[in-house]
């Protein structure tokens, strides 16, 4: 398919799970993300056996909530990260977990392959930006997003290059902003 726009493979897999309940695709997603999720859960001090339970639970949520995945707004890794963090919070604290209101979209817009690809490219650039950071800054970012730093620590950590990645964030922001505007107008 020379002229066909290609999404990131993970995005394709998640769309296949969403639209066709494709177990083969889900198996591939599992093999990519389950070991990463286990590493993430264990970083929070959870023993391996319990971490497996949480990963199983999170991947089951991925399967069941796939209908909510919108490739125009998120890519697979960010979406799966979100599902898994939410499950971890639910399990750790039975408290009310406040979630942002869903956008009210009467009719989901038709799939826009170019938009989705642009989204994937942004995500790839974001990862590349992350890779070029000095080791110490990288570690701080990791710690922040793996829940190892409190808000106060993130604020006080001078080594946290939120400024460095801001240009990337701003680019993502621009894209998403247009996306949101289009959604509201459709």
From the list 13, 10, 31, 11, the residue with the least C-alpha distance to 21 is 13
Residue 114: CB minimum distance to another protein, A: 18
Assess contact for 31 and 56: CB atoms under 8 A: no
**Nearer to another protein among residue 5 and residue 23 (C-beta):** 23
CB of 108 to another protein, least distance (A): 16
Half-sphere exposure of 177 (CA within 13 A, CB side): 6
13 closest CA partner among 75, 57, 84, 58: 75
Q: Of the two residues 3 and 85, which places its CB atom closer to another protein in the complex?
A: 85
Smallest distance, Å, CB 151 to another protein? Answer: 4
Minimum Å gap between C-beta 35 and another protein is 4
Helix (H, G, I), strand (E, B) or coil at 62: helix
- Shortest distance (Å) from residue 140 CB to another protein: 10
- Minimum distance of another protein from residue 33's CB (angstroms): 8
CA pair distance 121, 99, nearest whole angstrom? 27
Closer of 117 and 162 to another protein (Cβ): 162
Closer to another protein by CB, 113 or 177: give it.
177
DSSP letter string over 25-53?
HHHHHHHHHHHHHHHHHHHTT--HHHHHH
Q: With respect to another protein, which residue has the nearer C-beta, 2 or 96?
A: 96
Residue with tokens 């399967």: 63
Closest CB to another protein among residues 5, 60: 60
In angstroms, the CA 54 to CA 105 distance is: 32
Do 178 and 150 touch, CB atoms closer than 8 A?
no
């Amino acid at each position: 398919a020379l002229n066909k726009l290609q999404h990131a493979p993970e995005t394709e897999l998640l769309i296949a799970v969403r639209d066709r309940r494709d177990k083969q695709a889900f198996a591939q997603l599992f093999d990519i993300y389950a070991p990463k999720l286990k590493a993430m859960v264990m970083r929070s001090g959870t023993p391996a056996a319990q971490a497996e339970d949480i990963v199983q639970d999170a991947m089951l949520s991925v399967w069941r909530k796939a209908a909510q995945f919108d490739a125009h707004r998120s890519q697979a890794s960010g979406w799966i990260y979100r599902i898994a963090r939410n499950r971890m919070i639910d399990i750790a604290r039975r408290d009310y977990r406040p979630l942002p209101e869903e956008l009210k979209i009467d009719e989901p817009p038709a799939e826009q392959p170019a938009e989705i690809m642009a989204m994937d490219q942004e995500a790839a650039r974001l990862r590349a930006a992350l890779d070029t950071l000095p080791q110490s800054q990288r570690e701080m970012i990791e710690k922040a997003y793996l829940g190892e730093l409190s808000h106060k620590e993130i604020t006080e950590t001078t080594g946290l290059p939120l400024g460095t990645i801001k240009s990337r964030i701003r680019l993502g922001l621009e894209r998403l902003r247009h996306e949101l505007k289009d959604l509201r107008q459709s």
